[in-house]
Structure 1
C-alpha cells in the first residue's frame, strides 16, 4: 500500500486557514474527474484520487486542530463536497464519510483518539445500522456481526460499527481496526458505484473497553474525550452534523447536471422537431428555469443545515428537538428537489444521457441512489418532522 495513505496526522501537517480547503478541492477536482471512469471499473475510490485527497488535507477536515486537523465549519466542508461531486459523486460521498466519521471518533475518549491518530491509516468508515451483537468480557467486548454499505472502507484504517449487547441494553458503538474485518465483494449497484460500500463482517473479535461507548452518546453529543470537553464543535448532537456532511454531494450533483445540460443545448437540436438548436425551443426555457429554481431551493435547505450546525458549534447553545429533526427534513427535501431538477434535465437531454460512460448518466444514477438512502428518504424524514410539528415526541432515537 502506498505509504502516503499511512501518513500519521501531525499538528504541523498543513496551514490553518479553512478557506484553503476549497482551493484544495478545486485543485484536485481534475484528478478526481480523470479517475472517475476507473472508479466505475473498480467499484471503489481510485488510489490516485485518495492520494490527492490526503495531500490536500481533505480527509481530516473534522479532526481537532491540535492533532493536525482543520476543525472546519460545516459550511466550508459542504462546499468542498459539492466541488468534488462535480468531478465524481461517488468520491465526494466517500470524502464526506471520512470527515463525518472522523468527528465520531472524537467521541470515544482520549485513549481511543490518540490510538486512531497515531495509527498507520487515521481514517475511518462507519455504519450506523445496528446489525451487530456484543458480549461483555474481561477488559472489553467480543463483537460479531455483518454491516452493509460501508462506504470508503477500502482506504480506511478503522470502521465504527454498532451492536446490541447480549446482556441487554442500548446499542454500543465500537471503533475497530479495518484489519479485523472480512470485506465481502458484494458492491454491485447502479449508482454511487465508486464508493466501495461493501459489506464488512466481524466474527468474535475482541474490542477493548476504551474503544466502546454507548451509541446514543454519539447521537446526543455526549463526547467522552476530556481534551475536547470544552469544545462545542464536538460536544453537540451528531445527526445534524451528519446531515451537514451529507448535503454537499446532493448540491454538487445538481450543479453538475444543470451545467452539463446548459453546455449541450446550444450544440444539439431536438430530434424529430424543427428545432436545430435546443436552446431556441420554449420547452428548453421552461426546463432550464424550473431546474434552476429547484436547485436554488435545495441550496436554501442545505445552507439552513450548515448554518444551524456552525452557529451551535460557535455558541455552545443547546439544540432543541425541533431544530434537530428539521435538519433531517432539510437534507431530505434538498435531495428530493435535486432529484426533481436532475429528472427535468434528463427529460431534456435525450437518450444520450443513458450511456454508461456519459457524465450526465452517472449523475442521474447517483442522485437516484442518494435519494433512497434510508437516512435520507424524504418520506421518512417528512413524517418525523410533521410528527414533531404536530406536538408529538419523536419515535426514533437517531435525531
Structure 2
C-alpha cells in the first residue's frame, strides 16, 4: 500500500522543536493523513515508515529531549496538547509518540550525563522505549555493572522504531540478593523483539514483548527506580532545567491519558460528522439528530470529555509549576494525580462508549470509523497505571491514614 503524503506546507509548520504552538499546529495538520493511513497502520502492527518520517519532520518524537542535545524540552502541558491532537488522527500513533517521549524523558532524567551523551548524541535519532516491570529477569552483579542473563518484558510499545530500550530489572548484590528495582538502558541491537503484538485495539503501536540474553549493562546505564520515584535523579547536569525535575510517577501516569483524550475528541467529532446521515431504526425519527435521546447523549458525553480535559490540563500545569519551583511534588499530591488519571480515563471511556452505543448496529461494521475508535479507547483504558479502582483505593487508603499499598506514587 502506498503511504499517503503530508502536504509540504505542513512539514515546515514546526521547524523549531521548542516552539509549543508550532508543535501543536503541526500535530493538528497530521490528523487527516493519520486517519487515512489508519488501516495500513493497524494491518502493519507498527507505524509505517512515512508516519515515522512525518513525526520526525515535526520533531514530535523529541519533545522531551534536552535542548542541549537538540530536543524540544517542552512543558508537560505542551506534551499533552500535541499528543491529544495526534490522538484525534490515530490512537496508535499517539500512543507511540507519548511512550517514546516519556521514555526519552526517563533516559534524560533518571540517568547521569555519561548515559545521556551516549543515548542522545549518537549517530541514530534518540528513540527510547521501555517497560519497567519484567515478566522474568535473571540478573547478576558483575564488575562495572550488571549482566542480564535472561529476561522477558511485555507490552514494549514503539519498540520497532526504537534505538534504545529501558528495561526494568532487579538490582542485586554480589550474593544475588535483591536490594532495589532498577532500569537498564540497552541498545536496541541487543534486544530481541518477539513479534507477539496481535490485538483488537491500538493495533499499530507495535507493543511487542522483548527478550534479552547475556547482555552486560554498565553502571552508567543503570538507574534506581525507587530513587527516581522519590525524585532522587542522577541527572545533576540538568539541575535548573525544570522539565527534568518533574515528579516521575505522575509523569509516567498522566501521559497515558493523552492519547485517550484525543480518542474521546475524535469520537465526538466522528459522531457529529455522521449524524446528519443517520436515522433511528424502529422509531418515528427520520433523523437521529432530531431525537431528544441523541441530544442527551451528546450533552453528557461532551461534558465528560470536557471534565477529563480540565482535570488533565490542570495536573499537567501543576506538574510544570511544581518542577519550576525547585521543590519535588509532595506525596499526597502525587497520589492525587494518580487518582485523577484513573478518573479522567474513566470519563473518556464512558463518553466514547456512549457515543459508540448511540451509533447503533453500524458499530458492528469493521469499516465504521467509530468502531476503531471504540476498540482503541477500550484498550487504552486497560493499562494498569490508569486503572481507576486501584488508583481510587490507593488514594483512599492514604486519606484513611494507612500506607498506600503501592510504591508507584
TM-score normalised by the chain length of structure 2: 0.91
Question: In structure 2, which of residues 135, 139, 142 is the aligned counterpart of residue 134 of structure 1?
Answer: 139
CA apart distance, 1:322: 1.1
CA deviation string 1:332-387 (max 9, x = no partner): 11110111111111121012223223221111111111111111111111111111
Question: In structure 1, which of residues 114, 129, 132 is the aligned counterpart of residue 117 of structure 2?
Answer: 114
Q: Secondary structure at the match of 2:384?
A: coil
CA apart distance, 1:17: 2.2
Question: In structure 2, which of residues 167, 175, 193 is the aligned counterpart of residue 161 of structure 1?
Answer: 167
CA distance in 2, matches of 1:331, 1:110: 31
Match for residue 224 of structure 1? 234
Deviates further, 21-30 or 227-236: 227-236
CA apart distance, 1:313: 1.9
Paired residues of 1:243 and 1:305 also in contact (CA < 8 A): no
Deviates further, 95-104 or 137-146: 137-146
Match for residue 58 of structure 2? 56
Paired residues of 1:244 and 1:302 also in contact (CA < 8 A): yes
CA deviation string 1:302-327 (max 9, x = no partner): 12220211111221233111110111
CA distance in 2, matches of 1:373, 1:347: 23
CA distance in 2, matches of 1:285, 1:236: 41
Question: In structure 1, which of residues 289, 309, 312 is the aligned counterpart of residue 319 of structure 2?
Answer: 309
Question: In structure 1, which of residues 320, 338, 341 is the aligned counterpart of residue 351 of structure 2?
Answer: 341
Q: Secondary structure at the match of 1:223?
A: coil
The 1:36–1:52 alpha-carbon spacing in structure 2 relative to 1, beyond 3 Å, is same
Any residues of structure 2 matched to 1:359-370 within 5 Å, and which?
359-370=369-380
CA distance in 2, matches of 1:395, 1:81: 31
The alignment covers a number of residue pairs equal to 387
CA apart distance, 1:63: 1.2
Question: In structure 2, which of residues 375, 382, 387 is the aligned counterpart of residue 372 of structure 1?
Answer: 382
CA distance in 2, matches of 1:17, 1:279: 40
Q: Which runs of 5+ in 1 are unaligned?
A: 1-12
Question: In structure 1, which of residues 123, 128, 136 is the aligned counterpart of residue 127 of structure 2?
Answer: 123
CA distance in 2, matches of 1:16, 1:153: 25
CA distance in 2, matches of 1:135, 1:15: 40
CA distance in 1, matches of 2:18, 2:242: 19
CA distance in 2, matches of 1:30, 1:217: 42
Q: Secondary structure at the match of 2:81?
A: helix
Paired residues of 1:247 and 1:331 also in contact (CA < 8 A): yes
The 1:347–1:148 alpha-carbon spacing in structure 2 relative to 1, beyond 3 Å, is same
Match for residue 266 of structure 1? 276
Match for residue 211 of structure 1? 221
CA distance in 1, matches of 2:36, 2:70: 29
CA apart distance, 1:15: 5.0
Deviates further, 15-24 or 121-130: 15-24
Cα RMSD after superposing both structures: 1.4
Match for residue 7 of structure 2? none
CA apart distance, 1:231: 2.5
Match for residue 11 of structure 2? none
Any residues of structure 2 matched to 1:294-305 within 5 Å, and which?
294-305=304-315
Any residues of structure 2 matched to 1:1-399 within 5 Å, and which?
14-106=16-108, 107-119=110-122, 120-131=124-135, 132-143=137-148, 144-164=150-170, 165=172, 166-399=176-409
Q: Secondary structure at the match of 1:141?
A: strand
CA distance in 2, matches of 1:299, 1:226: 34
CA apart distance, 1:139: 1.6
CA apart distance, 1:236: 3.5
CA distance in 2, matches of 1:289, 1:160: 43
CA distance in 2, matches of 1:130, 1:320: 28
Q: Secondary structure at the match of 1:142?
A: strand
CA distance in 1, matches of 2:299, 2:38: 29
CA deviation string 1:195-229 (max 9, x = no partner): 10000000121111110121223322222123212
User: Structure 1 segments of 4 or more deviating over 3 A?
Assistant: 13-16
Deviates further, 265-274 or 148-157: 265-274
